[in-house]
């Protein structure tokens, strides 16, 4: 379901001050043309054959049948026309006020000609989406999930995403003196990874659309549950077992997958560097924070007729295993990997906003960045540049939902002695390039006492921090 438009319009209507026309104008200008980058050109080239097989793909991404070269002006004329039509619908309702104008844009998209075009394109391509589905959809505001951690309060989106994984991990790590271990030490990396394994096991057992499954949210995020689960972490040995818990009695759930010590796990999943997700984190002059992770329109995508709109592929996140909390069902939301974050010192308004692309590693990266700040006192830029690691000891959200017990990816800037010690403890190590981790967060902050605004951007990918 194309839900991002309604979510953004709802945020603008309820918490913004500008009109739709004001905020969409830069997007219209980009749609009308921008210089093709080397990065995007290389992505299109690597996916050219698949793009040609997707309805509308050649017309949009391969004008004149060729891959756009770096420096060429790339135009999305259909999308620009769609966005201008949405602006016109707002202007037609302008006399009724700002909110009415935004509502008119929403109706134009979800109940008007755009919905009709999307439904027709889906049907023609053999898809299931129809205009009536869009007409029945409406975004809603929901409370965040949160935990406290050493004087901080950390907020994430709910259990229809993987966001609470980080919250569960923080509860587990609160029982350790991480600062004393030191950043980048074998003890630190081992402890964090083993805690993440337990949280991801719960994700893969319990997380799903709360409108369809009963998620034991309160128990999963309780300190008492973390206290029981923490006892499973062996300080000297990496676990090769998939061990979801039992929130009902704060114990260990039966029936978890296991890989005995000495058994070689399956090969690592192929590298799927995320190329269709970005992250936006903003703090404004009034001290408001915004965190978002736009995603879903990956290459190749089905283009919805002449709208210029690429349709999302996130239904592949569903599981087809009977009894799975994330089992495919009509009207159900697939469990998202996208996971924004706000944090604040207890008793204050939120002071940090950050997010990242990176599929299943998103919450792992955001956890590491947060700990770099909260435990080790790093600046924002130091926190995002520090060497990173991530575990594949989880059920992969996309593709074949593979599991690679014990597998740990770690950037080569970590010392060889630390990597060797982690291997001795049983982690199955894959050493990456020094700056080659797939995630790439941005982060913004506001000092509530001085009013100073700060921002940082990860140099691993096309990320920017700027002020105006």
pLDDT in tens, 373-423: 999 999 999 999 999 999 999 999 988 888 999 999 999 999 999 999 999
Q: Taking residues 120-135, what's their average pLDDT?
A: 94
For residue 254, pLDDT beyond 60 = no
Res 163: pLDDT: 94
For residue 137, pLDDT beyond 50 = yes
Pairing of strands 389-391, 407-411: antiparallel
Res 261: pLDDT: 33
Residue-wise pLDDT tens digits, 214-244 = 999 999 999 999 999 999 999 999 999 999 9
Q: Which fold has domain 145-276+338-457?
A: Serum Albumin; Chain A, Domain 1 (1.10.246)
Which residues are catalytic, by number?
Answer: 277
Mean residue pLDDT of the chain comes to 91
- Domain span(s) for CATH 1.10.246.130 in the chain: 145-276+338-457
For residue 20, pLDDT beyond 80 = yes
Confidence label for 260 from pLDDT (cuts 50, 70 and 90) = very low
For residue 271, pLDDT beyond 60 = no
- The answer to whether 360 touches 337, Cβ cutoff 8 Å, is yes
Specify which residues 246 forms β-bridges with: 251
Res 223: pLDDT: 97
For residue 198, pLDDT beyond 90 = yes
Rg of the chain over CA atoms, in angstroms? 23
- What is the token pair recorded at 286? 């009034």
Q: Taking residues 268-277, what's their average pLDDT?
A: 55
**Burial (Cβ within 10 Å: 0-12, 13-18, ≥19) of residue 4:** middle
Confidence label for 265 from pLDDT (cuts 50, 70 and 90) = very low
- What is the token pair recorded at 395? 């059920």
């Amino acid at each position: 379901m194309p839900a991002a438009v309604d979510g953004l319009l709802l945020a603008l209507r309820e918490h913004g001050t500008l009109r739709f026309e004001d905020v969409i104008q830069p997007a219209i200008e980009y749609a009308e043309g921008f210089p093709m980058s080397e990065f995007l050109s290389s992505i299109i080239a690597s996916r050219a054959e698949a793009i040609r097989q997707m309805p509308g793909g050649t017309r949009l991404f391969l004008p004149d049948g060729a891959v756009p070269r770096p420096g060429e002006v790339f135009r999305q004329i259909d999308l620009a026309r769609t966005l201008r039509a949405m602006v016109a619908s707002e202007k037609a309702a302008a006399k009724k006020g700002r909110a009415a104008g935004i509502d008119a844009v929403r109706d134009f998209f979800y109940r008007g000609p755009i919905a009709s075009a999307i439904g027709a394109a889906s049907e023609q391509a053999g898809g299931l989406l129809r205009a009536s589905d869009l007409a029945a959809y409406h975004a809603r505001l929901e409370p965040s999930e949160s935990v406290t951690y050493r004087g901080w309060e950390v907020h994430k989106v709910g259990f229809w995403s993987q966001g609470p994984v980080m919250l569960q991990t923080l509860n587990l790590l609160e029982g350790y003196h991480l600062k004393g271990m030191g950043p980048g030490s074998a003890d630190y990396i081992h402890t964090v990874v083993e805690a993440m394994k337990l949280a991801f096991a719960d994700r893969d057992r319990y997380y799903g659309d709360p409108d369809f499954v009963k998620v034991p949210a309160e128990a999963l995020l309780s300190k008492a549950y973390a206290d029981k689960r923490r006892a499973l972490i062996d300080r000297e040995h990496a676990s090769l077992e998939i061990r979801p818990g039992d929130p009902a009695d704060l114990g260990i759930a039966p029936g978890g997958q296991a890989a005995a010590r000495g058994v070689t796990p399956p090969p690592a999943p192929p590298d799927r560097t995320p190329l269709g997700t970005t992250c936006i984190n903003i703090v404004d002059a009034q001290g408001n924070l915004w965190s978002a992770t736009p995603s879903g329109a990956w290459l190749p995508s089905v283009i919805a007729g002449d709208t210029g709109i690429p349709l999302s592929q996130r239904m592949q996140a569903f599981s087809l295993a009977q009894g799975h909390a994330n089992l495919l069902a009509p009207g159900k939301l697939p469990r998202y990997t996208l996971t924004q974050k706000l944090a604040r010192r207890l008793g204050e308004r939120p002071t940090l906003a950050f997010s990242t692309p990176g599929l299943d590693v998103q919450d792992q990266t955001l956890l590491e960045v947060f700990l770099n700040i909260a435990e080790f006192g790093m600046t924002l830029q130091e926190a995002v540049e520090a060497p990173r690691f991530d575990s594949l000891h989880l059920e992969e959200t996309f593709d074949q939902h593979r599991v690679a017990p014990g597998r740990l990816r770690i950037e080569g800037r970590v010392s060889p002695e630390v990597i060797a010690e982690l291997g001795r403890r049983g982690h199955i190590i894959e050493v990456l390039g020094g700056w080659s981790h797939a995630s790439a967060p941005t982060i913004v902050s506001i000092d509530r006492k001085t009013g100073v605004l700060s921002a940082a951007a990860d140099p691993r990918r096309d990320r920017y921090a700027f002020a105006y």
